[in-house]
Amino acid sequence: MTPARLCGLIMLAAAALAVTSFSQTAGALDPRVLWSGQASTIAHIVIVDSWLPRLVVALVAGAGLALAGVLMQQTLRNPLAAPTTLGVAAGAQFALLVATLFAPILLVYGRGLVAFSGGAAAVVLVFALAWRRGLAPNVLVLAGLVVNLYVGAASLAFILFNQEKLHGLMVWGAGSLAQNNWGDVGYLLPRLAVTAIGAAILIRSLALLDLDELNARNLGVSLPWLRLASLGLAVFITASVVAAVGLIGFIGLAAPAIVRLAGARTLMQRLCWAPVLGALLLVVTDLALQLLTGENATLIPTGATTAALGAPLLLWLIPRLSATRSAPRPRVSVPVARHRRPGRVVGLLLGAVAVMSVVALLAGQGASGWAAPFTLPWHDTGVWRLPRVLAAGVAGVLLALAGTIIQRVSGNPMASPEVLGVSAGTGLGLLTLTWFVAAPGIWAMLGAGLAGALGSLGLLIAINARSQFEPEQLLLTGISIMFAFDALQRIVLAGNDPRTQAALAWISGSTYHVTLPTACVIAVAGGLAVAVAWPVSRWLDILPLGAPTARGLGIHITVSRLALLGLVAVLTAAATLVVGPLSFVGLLAPHLARLIGLARARAQMGGAMAIGALLMIAADWVGREVLFPMEIPAGLVATLIGGTYFMYRLRRI
């Protein structure tokens, strides 16, 4: 099928949806009086000032994002490059959110400049993380997705403390195309025209990037200036779209990829057909959403919906990145001296956990300052603080143990339940259950979380089996699953539903609502999982030595790996019930244990569990006290710390 036929078919679908939506909105209104200049009925006003501008804005925004995607993919020679995957859209949105809170005057005179600054800063950060690998396609996209997640966590922190101010911004930030005048159309059309003209001027030089860099330089192309100009145009139109309608997901990735698969091989063909397809895809999605949701169409964000639909496309494209993947670098771990007495180290760590637990239980701020909590009766301290300290500590133990297991089984030092999407899969299961069941019990939630975790692991195995679980592709797959969860999360947060508050608290990793019975159940489940994991530590010592060695020592590779991954799913599901789907403790704790000399599996497991408990209890206490009486959820504090460490590790791979 050619791009022309494909766009023609989608155009017919868009026309049919538009006619149906128009008839439902206009009712018995005569179309001939739409442009009469007289607002005779409410339907007339709705059509002229809301329905038609929304249709045109969808066309212009879709075309702009698709054009940005083509420019990014051509400039970076990366089929996964797009405004969403490289963090441009998320950076622009974060800059607008910060300006809304602290300098709203900037939005009156320069919202486009604010968004452009945020998007450009995100691109610079992504390039800095991937520069040591020569902007290799897989590392570049991995860096972009990590920046997306980190910026999303920072945005969530602002939203938590300013929910009343930012509720409308949550709808807009998830990509709302709702309009009440033609202002956004007038804002976007000239900017799209400028970007298209700039792309036309650069097209001959950009086409030379299909050659290798040496030949392009020999033909007189200044690669630094060409990349700066091309990426500048892509960031400019992306920031303009975000400033007008919020974050629209995956149109910039989907449209160029689809037209390429449909036969648009040359750059000229992609620049012509991708914007057309992007405009049609966004219009079809938005019109279908309006028809399905009816009167609630303004509350359902189109941008997050397209992101949720586009995540499967990203998962499908990741294995096909092999054609452009750079040669792998040898992975040489930095040698770390083994500690002669690992038991003493673990004992010291457990002592630190005990001290931190006492501090978290007895120290803190109250109505009369720092001294007041020490005078609280033990009953009050036990009722309010003990469940939180216990839940945070157990969650840290479970995530650290799961991270240790998955790093040793996969041989990937960057693996963890959060990074590989296991936590996100757990989150999907829990969010689905809590959305459709009014008051699910703790065991039902644990079962739903376990089902989601196992589903994520199954998806990881299915997608990466052919590549023999190449580390970078495995990470890309896991973060793509996290990205899908992020899209659904934004849909939930944008809805004006009473359940949103509880969902927001859980997603951010707050222990505020944890009760003592819940904490005890999680502690029992964690204790059982640790009891199961301890005897199989021998597998974790042998499996990293390679399959032939493991088989020679009598270990059944498939059975042992499946059993260990199933244990990871149980550990992650139990921990995610408490601290949400993103904390990076499962990545950070095993690394810290190894850096202090705990190299053998059992020693690393013990040290990582102690470090995980220490990190989560400290994060919960810091979150309670640093902005007292307001709280920063423990999971969010751990995310900001662990995400920084992840970017540091990514910079060094």
**How large is the angle between the packed helices 137-161 and 634-652, nearest 10 degrees?**
160
Cα 27–Cα 32–Cα 35 angle in degrees, nearest 5: 100
Question: Is the pLDDT confidence value at 146 over 50?
Answer: yes
Q: What is the mean pLDDT of residues 587-603?
A: 85
**Can you name the residues that pair with 366 across neighbouring β-strands?**
369
Q: What is the mean pLDDT of the chain?
A: 79
Instruction: Work out the number of other CB atoms within 10 angstroms of the CB of residue 16.
Output: 12
Q: Which amino acid is located at 5 in the chain? A: R
Give Cβ neighbours of residue 250 (< 8 Å, ≥ 6 apart): 82, 84, 306, 307, 309, 310, 311, 313, 314
Distance CA 100, CA 255 (A): 31
**How large is the angle between the packed helices 267-293 and 183-207, nearest 10 degrees?**
150
Three-class SS of residue 366? Answer: strand
Question: Is the pLDDT confidence value at 468 over 70?
Answer: no
pLDDT-based confidence at residue 262 (cuts at 50, 70, 90): confident
Instruction: Work out the number of other CB atoms within 10 angstroms of the CB of residue 547.
Output: 12
pLDDT-based confidence at residue 270 (cuts at 50, 70, 90): very high
Q: What is the pLDDT of residue 251?
A: 87
Q: What is the mean pLDDT of residues 365-374?
A: 61
Q: What is the pLDDT of residue 614?
A: 92
Q: Which residue has the higher pLDDT, 527 or 332?
A: 527
Over its C-alpha atoms, the chain yields an Rg (Å, rounded) of: 26
pLDDT-based confidence at residue 334 (cuts at 50, 70, 90): very low
Q: What is the pLDDT of residue 499?
A: 59
pLDDT-based confidence at residue 263 (cuts at 50, 70, 90): confident
Ramachandran category for residue 330: left, alpha or beta (phi over 0 → left; psi -120 to 50 → alpha):
beta
Q: What is the pLDDT of residue 300?
A: 64
Give 100-113 as a DSSP string. Answer: HHH-THHHHHHHHH
Q: Which amino acid is located at 279 in the chain? A: A
Q: 619 with 578: CB under 8 angstroms?
A: no
Q: What is the mean pLDDT of residues 69-73?
A: 92
Q: What is the pLDDT of residue 107?
A: 80
The CATH number, out of the four listed (3.60.20.30, 1.20.120.520, 1.10.3470.10, 1.10.1740.10), of the domain defined by the range 342-357+380-652: 1.10.3470.10
Helix (H) and strand (E) counts in the chain? 27, 0
Give 505-552 as a DSSP string. Answer: HHHTT--TT--HHHHHHHHHHHHHHHHHHGGGHHHHHHGGG-HHHHHH
* Ranges 16-20, 257-261, 270-274, 485-489: which has the least confidence: 485-489
Q: 217 with 223: CB under 8 angstroms?
A: yes
CATH 1.10.3470.10 fits 3-8+46-317, yes or no: yes
Distance CA 56, CA 612 (A): 51
Q: What is the pLDDT of residue 13?
A: 92
Q: What is the mean pLDDT of residues 130-154?
A: 78
Instruction: Work out the number of other CB atoms within 10 angstroms of the CB of residue 312.
Output: 12
Q: What is the pLDDT of residue 116?
A: 92
Structure tokens at 523: 């502690």
Residues 38-69 have pLDDT tens digits of 555 676 777 888 888 999 999 999 999 999 99
Give Cβ neighbours of residue 233 (< 8 Å, ≥ 6 apart): 68, 71, 195, 198, 199, 202
Question: Is the pLDDT confidence value at 495 over 70?
Answer: no
Give 137-148 as a DSSP string. Answer: HHHHHHHHHHHH
Residues 312-325 have pLDDT tens digits of 776 776 676 544 44
Residues 411-466 have pLDDT tens digits of 777 777 877 778 888 877 877 787 777 777 777 877 888 888 888 888 888 887 77
E strands, 326-457, are none
**Can you name the residues that pair with 369 across neighbouring β-strands?**
366
Q: What is the mean pLDDT of residues 464-489?
A: 71
Q: What is the mean pLDDT of residues 165-169?
A: 60
Distance CA 651, CA 646 (A): 9
Q: What is the pLDDT of residue 186?
A: 92
Q: What is the mean pLDDT of residues 86-112?
A: 85
Q: What is the pLDDT of residue 196?
A: 95
Q: What is the mean pLDDT of residues 183-204?
A: 93
Q: What is the pLDDT of residue 323?
A: 40
H or E segment and range at residue 273: helix 267-293
Instruction: Work out the number of other CB atoms within 10 angstroms of the CB of residue 31.
Output: 9
Q: What is the pLDDT of residue 333?
A: 46
What is the location of CATH 1.10.3470.10 in the chain?
3-8+46-317, 342-357+380-652
Question: Is the pLDDT confidence value at 193 over 90?
Answer: yes
Q: What is the pLDDT of residue 652?
A: 65
Q: What is the pLDDT of residue 32?
A: 57
Q: What is the pLDDT of residue 331?
A: 42
Question: Is the pLDDT confidence value at 178 over 90?
Answer: no
Which of these, 540, 157, 581, 608, lies nearest to 396 by C-alpha position?
A: 608
Question: Is the pLDDT confidence value at 493 over 70?
Answer: no
Question: Is the pLDDT confidence value at 330 over 50?
Answer: no
378 vs 71, 183, 187, 386, 412, CA distance in Å? Answer: 63, 60, 61, 10, 45
Highest mean pLDDT among 299-303, 371-375, 588-592, 643-647: 588-592
Q: Which residue has the higher pLDDT, 304 or 22?
A: 22
Using a pLDDT cut of 70, give the percent of the chain over it: 81
Which of these, 493, 142, 175, lies nearest to 309 by C-alpha position?
A: 175
Q: What is the mean pLDDT of residues 513-525?
A: 82
Q: Which residue has the higher pLDDT, 552 or 241?
A: 241
Q: What is the pLDDT of residue 62?
A: 93
Give Cβ neighbours of residue 263 (< 8 Å, ≥ 6 apart): 1, 2, 3, 269
pLDDT-based confidence at residue 591 (cuts at 50, 70, 90): confident
My answer on whether omega of the bond before 31 falls inside 30° of 0, hence cis, is no
Q: What is the mean pLDDT of residues 511-524?
A: 81
Q: What is the mean pLDDT of residues 87-93?
A: 86
Highest mean pLDDT among 125-139, 182-196, 478-492: 182-196
pLDDT-based confidence at residue 379 (cuts at 50, 70, 90): low
